[in-house]
Amino acid sequence: MQVYSTPKAIKENSNFTFCPGCDHGLAIKTIAHVIDELNIRENTIAVASSGCSVFLYNFLDVDCIESPHGRACAVATGVKRAHKAQGNNKFVFTYQGDGDFASIGLAESMHSALRGENITAICINNTNYGMTGGQLGPTTAMGQITTTSQNGRNREYHGFPIKTAEQIAQCEGTCFSARVALYDIKNIINTKNTIKKAFEYQNQNLGFSFVEILSSCPTNWKLSPKESHEKIKTELSQIFPLGVLKDVKND
């Protein structure tokens, strides 16, 4: 599998503008490989949201819509349903940060899953509000230092982080929920296969499919790209375990 070759679904002359070592570029490229493999580029509509995920439309060569902060699943629901009413079976997926999906947009996200909307949501979990300067987000780990939790996240003041893939797996309308990472080749390949499965389930009309990607944020974590991947491998994947949380075909 040519993970590092440029997929056709990436726009020509794309120079990723993410911070050095940020996993957004790798995530977008991995999604593009899946779009190539399934040959769905002409039929795909992506919904990006506020946050670093919004830059998706600069690089991914599919029709894209930008939604207000947190509203990507609601917008995707409308897009999917409106096309369906016209007899068009469009492939629709969202690309959102964890703050977007699991905090400001939690109601839209969870109710889309509960309704079993036939869309796919991809959540880039970098454990903070990246674009706005690294504030505490819904997934910030206990003890983690951010610009708004300078002594580390604590139970008394901030409460606990959300385990998004587990929560979405609890919704009856969810057909697939998984958490993956991109810190080495094995995990990149697994991420590609997992996204592919989520996309295929949408094509089979099985309901809401969800993939959470544990992703690096070297700038806000104040770590090097290598240290950031090490942190995901050794710390974050212990707190947010990798794997499939729900698969209606195998459960």
Ligand X SMILES: Cc1ncc(C[n+]2csc(CCOP(=O)(O)OP(=O)(O)O)c2C)c(N)n1
Q: Return the closest-CA partner of residue 54 out of 74, 24, 33.
A: 24
CA distance 118 to 63: 18
Measured from the CB atom, the residue of 70 and 207 that comes closer to ligand X is 70
Measured from the CB atom, the residue of 175 and 195 that comes closer to ligand X is 195
Which residues, other chains included, contact 50 with Cβ-Cβ below 8 Å and sequence gap of 6+?
A: 67, 68, 69, 70, 97, 100, 131
Identity (one letter) of the amino acid at 2? Q
Measured from the CB atom, the residue of 18 and 201 that comes closer to ligand X is 18
Q: Return the closest-CA partner of residue 109 out of 195, 38, 212.
A: 212
Measured from the CB atom, the residue of 124 and 214 that comes closer to ligand X is 124
Which residues lie near ligand X (CB under 6 A)?
50-53, 69, 97-100, 124, 126, 129-132, 137
Measured from the CB atom, the residue of 44 and 103 that comes closer to ligand X is 103
CA distance 178 to 172: 15
CA distance 243 to 110: 20
CA distance 118 to 45: 13
State the minimum distance, in angstroms, from the CB of residue 217 to ligand X: 7
Buried b (16+ CB within 10 A) or exposed e, 105-135: bbebbbbbbeebbbbbbbbbbbbbbbbeebe
State the minimum distance, in angstroms, from the CB of residue 45 to ligand X: 20
Measured from the CB atom, the residue of 118 and 128 that comes closer to ligand X is 128
Measured from the CB atom, the residue of 129 and 208 that comes closer to ligand X is 129
State the minimum distance, in angstroms, from the CB of residue 98 to ligand X: 5
Structure tokens at 177: 């929920």
Query: Which residue has the closest beta carbon to ligand X?
Result: 97
State the minimum distance, in angstroms, from the CB of residue 61 to ligand X: 21
State the minimum distance, in angstroms, from the CB of residue 132 to ligand X: 4
Q: Are 246 and 201 in contact (CB under 8 A)?
A: no
Q: Are 87 and 39 in contact (CB under 8 A)?
A: no
State the minimum distance, in angstroms, from the CB of residue 231 to ligand X: 15
State the minimum distance, in angstroms, from the CB of residue 166 to ligand X: 18
